Amino acid sequence: MNGPAAEGLAPRRATSLHLARRYLLLGAFFYPAWWLIFTYLVPGAHDDLVGRVAVAGLLLAMFAATFWRDWARRHVDVLIAAACYTLITHYYLLLSANKLHVAYVEGCFIVVFGASTLLNSPRDLLWFFAYVMALTAAVAVRFHGGTSGVVLFFGLATVFVVSSVSLGSRLRLIERLAASEENVRRLFNSTLEGIALHENGVILDANDTCGRLFGCAGAELAGRKLSDLMTPEDDAAPVAVGREPRRYEAIGVRKDGARFSIEVEEKLYFYYGREVVMTAVRDISERRALENRLRVSDRLSAIGQLAAGVAHEINNPLGVILGFAQSAVGRLAPDSEIMMPLRSIERESLRCKELVQSLLTFSRQEAPADAKLDLAACVASALLLVDAQARLRGITISRELSDHGLIIVGNGNQLQQIVINLSNNAIDASPSGGAVTVSCRRVERDGEAWARLEVKDAGTGIPAGIRARIFDPFFTTKEPGRGTGLGLSLVHELTRRHRGRLEYATQEGRGTSFFADFPLA
């Protein structure tokens, strides 16, 4: 592969290398061809075909070195200067052999003018003309001056003056081009999108934004395969890139192995004289998270509407069943043979009633009552309702309630439901003899004061495979008959109604902590 990435060069230096290769190749082919021209123009000329072929071979060797040697690629200006010195030396030998023939004087002018065009450094140009003038003086002394010597001397002086003026203009142009390229490079690196240019799947150049997306510097991406950095999400056959942009979504892989969602847009682009593919990369992880939350919200809304209808339909016949069961229990003797079945009907009816009440609370879109409450007091009263269950399970509930007033605005019953549901989940998750810690304290979030309720269990943590679903309604890991799957979804909904935020931290084998934060009044 040829190009800036393959050469390991900056784009401007890669362009200079490309031009230098052209000059060396042209010189290698045309310099021997001049032998035919001069032998035709100068009958009886003592031209040196062997010497011309040797010089051409040297130029070809320099051309080949730019592909095989890193030093030659990075110091191509030295090769060009060496080629210029070689050509002019050989031409002065031919000029001397032909006794300052005017045709060879003109040939010297052509070589000198070509060299003055290729040498872009004032220092290199001065050294070259000093060398040429020394050769001119040596040849003129050998042949005692003469018309050809005078023409050669003044002609070269004229070429030197013209070349100096031309060099000054070219240097100013080079400076402007360098400044323009620096501005373009700065703009390229400051874009908000990651941009990579690649050919046959190998990255030639990439901006700093693209490097940051993948956890490295933009320059580190040059030479890497694009397929190592991103994989399309679908398995459809790739579509050829054309003039019109092609857009698709993919999974990006950062330097540390982390995977993230990206959007990719590709189109063809001309880059230093050849057609490559320009790829724009955008990190859409946050957008994906928002879309997922929106889908969950829509699902919760639909389930809430369904739950409200189902709860109202079930509530009336359930009340009848519970009423008759309780009435029958009150009329029968304690040792009656149907007492146990009736007690089971009463117990399961009460459980269904609690489930229906949870469904109604979950589906009812009401704002919390505008009352100022002490969070610590609400937590303390709610824990009285779960102490009995904790003792039956051999669980100790540790209270760490702030003495400072954590006043929030909300509904006392709903806040108690949050505490009870989180505490019951913590008790179920903890082993017998374990401890559940319930605390409330003041915290800072985004520069504002919040009241935090934390419930920490002594369980085994939440497995990574189900963490994305723990707030889904009716999702539960408990055995049938022990859980409805509405506890955490209800807590999430009630916290949201209080303008709060529900989060959790878990580590497999070391337990889970849930944090319900509420803005202080």
Candidate from 104-108, 212-216, 513-517 with smallest mean pLDDT: 104-108
Q: Domain residue spans in the chain?
A: 4-189, 194-283, 288-363, 372-519
Contact criterion met (CB below 8 Å) for 193 and 264:
no
- Higher per-residue confidence, 484 vs 409: 409
Contact criterion met (CB below 8 Å) for 1 and 224:
no
Contact criterion met (CB below 8 Å) for 513 and 505:
yes
CA distances from 332 to 68, 324, 325, 346 (A): 103, 12, 11, 14
Confidence category of residue 236, pLDDT binned at 50, 70, 90: very low
- SS3 call for 205: strand
Candidate from 15-24, 233-242, 243-252, 409-418 with smallest mean pLDDT: 233-242
**Amino acid 7: pLDDT:** 44
- Tell me the per-residue pLDDT of 442-463, one tens digit each, with 9 for 90 and over: 888 888 889 999 999 988 888 8
- Higher per-residue confidence, 104 vs 9: 104
Contacts of 149 (CB under 8 A, 6+ apart): 100, 136, 139, 140, 143
**Amino acid 515: pLDDT:** 93
Q: Report d(CA 152, CA 95) in Å as an integer.
A: 10
Query: 2.40.50.140, 1.10.287.130, 1.10.3720.10, 3.50.50.60: which CATH number matches 288-363?
Result: 1.10.287.130
Residue tagged 């698709």 (tokens): 248
Contact criterion met (CB below 8 Å) for 489 and 507:
no
CATH fold for the domain made of 194-283:
Beta-Lactamase (3.30.450)
Asked if the model's pLDDT at residue 363 lies above 70, the reply is no
Class of CATH domain 372-519: alpha beta
| C-alpha angle 101-105-109 in degrees, rounded to nearest 5 | 170
- Tell me the per-residue pLDDT of 401-413, one tens digit each, with 9 for 90 and over: 876 778 888 888 7
